[in-house]
Amino acid sequence: MPTCNLYESSCMQEATGDTLRPGGFKLTEKALNFCGLNEQTRVLDLGCGMGATVAYLFQNHGINVVGLDPSSKLLNIAKVKNPFATFVTGSGDSLPFDNKSFECVLAECTLSLMHDLHVTLNEIHRVLEKDGWFVIHDVYAKKPEFLSNMNHFSMTSCMRGMHDLASLKEVLETIGFEVMLLEDCSQLLKELMVKIIFSHGSMGAFWGKTIEGEALQTCCSFEDNIKQCKPGYFMLIAKKGEK
Ligand SMILES: C[S@@+](CC[C@H](N)C(=O)[O-])C[C@H]1O[C@@H](n2cnc3c(N)ncnc32)[C@H](O)[C@@H]1O
C-alpha cells in the first residue's frame, strides 16, 4: 500500500514547530529529570525528525544525542541545523548499533509509526545497557476496541498507530522492561488540536492539506476513525531489567 510521510509536510511543521509532536520540550525535560540524564549519558533519539530534541539536549544540558530517522528530507534539515551532532539514516525495526550502545532511548511520538512494534521494542532492548532508560511519549486510544479499523489506512501518521496502553505495557514487560512511570498527558494533544483547528478551520481540513496521493481519498473516514478511538497522549518511562 502506498504511504506518505506527514511529518515532511510544511503544514505539519507549521502546526508543531521544530518538535513534530504535542507539548514541545515539556515531556523531554520531565523525562530528563526523572532518569537523571547528564553529559555522560549515551542517548539515542529514535525517529529524531528535524533534530529538535538533539539540539535541545545539547544546548541546554550538554548531552550528546545520536539521532536516527528514515526520512532523508528531515535528516538533511537536522544536519544543517545541528552540524555538531551525529545523525543516522535507519528504521526502528533494524537499529544499526551494537548491543548495549546506549543508556537511554527516546521515542518521542515515534513508536506509533513503526512497521512492526514488537521487533522495534526488541531492538531498543538490545541496544540499551542494563538499567538503561526507555522514554516513550505517544498517542494512545482511550477506546482501544476501535483500533483495528485504523489498519485500513495507509498514511504515515502517529494517529494511525495509536497504542493500546494495556497491551503495550504487557509487551514491554514480556520483553524485559520494568515500567517505572506511566502518565496521562492528553492535555498536550488537546492543545495541539486546538491550535490546528484555529489555523486550518477543522482537523479534516488539516488532514486534507497534509495527506497526499491515494491516501487523500480516505482522509474523511480516517478522521472519523480517529474520533471513534478517542485519542489521548501519554508518557511512559521503562527501565531495562535483568532479562
Ligand atoms: C511525530 S514525528 C516526531 C519527530 C521527533 N521525535 C520530534 O518529536 O520532533 C515522527 C518521526 O518518526 C519518524 N519515523 C517514521 N517511521 C519510522 C521508523 N520506522 N523508524 C524510526 N523513525 C520513524 C518520522 O520520519 C518522523 O520524523
Which pLDDT tens digit goes with each residue over 11-49?
777 777 778 789 889 999 999 999 999 999 999 999 999
Task: Give the pLDDT confidence score for residue 150 in this predicted structure.
Answer: 79
Distance 134 CA to ligand 1 centre (A): 16
| Higher local confidence (pLDDT), 200 or 184 | 184
Task: Give the pLDDT confidence score for residue 1 in this predicted structure.
Answer: 41
What is the number of structural domains in the chain? 1
Task: Determine the average pLDDT of the residues in 122-136.
Answer: 98
Residue 133 within any structural domain of the chain: yes
Averaged confidence pLDDT in the chain: 90
Would you place residue 2 in the very low, low, confident or very high pLDDT band (cuts 50, 70, 90)?
Answer: very low
CATH of the domain at 65: 3.40.50.150
Distance 87 CA to ligand 1 centre (A): 13
Residue 40 within any structural domain of the chain: yes
Residue 2 within any structural domain of the chain: no
Distance 106 CA to ligand 1 centre (A): 11
Task: Give the pLDDT confidence score for residue 204 in this predicted structure.
Answer: 78
Task: Determine the average pLDDT of the residues in 203-212.
Answer: 77
Residue 125 has pLDDT above 80, yes or no: yes
Residue 215 within any structural domain of the chain: no
Residue 15 within any structural domain of the chain: no
Residue 222 within any structural domain of the chain: no
Which of 21, 113, 210, 233 is the best mutation target for the ligand 1 pocket, counting ligand atoms within 8 Å of the beta carbon and taking the most?
113
Tell me the whole-structure pTM to 2 decimals: 0.91
Task: Give the pLDDT confidence score for residue 225 in this predicted structure.
Answer: 85
Nearest-CA residue for atom 11 of ligand 1: 47
Task: Determine the average pLDDT of the residues in 140-164.
Answer: 85
Q: Highest-confidence range of 168-177, 205-214, 216-225, 234-243, by mean pLDDT?
A: 168-177
Task: Give the pLDDT confidence score for residue 214 in this predicted structure.
Answer: 59
Residue 99 sits in which domain range? 23-149+156-188+232-240
3-state secondary structure the chain: CCCCEHHHCHHHHHHHCCCCCCCCCHHHHHHHHHHCCCCCCCEEEECCCCCHHHHHHHHHHCCCEEEEECCHHHHHHHHHHCCCCEEEECECCECCCCCCCEEEEEEECCHHHCCCHHHHHHHHHHHEEEEEEEEEEEEEECCHHHHHHHHHCCCECHHHHCECHHHHHHHHHHHCEEEEEEEECHHHHHHHHHHHHHHHCCHHHHHHHHCCHHHHHHHHHHHHHHHHHCEEEEEEEEEECCC
Residue 195 within any structural domain of the chain: no
Task: Give the pLDDT confidence score for residue 200 in this predicted structure.
Answer: 83
Residue 123 within any structural domain of the chain: yes
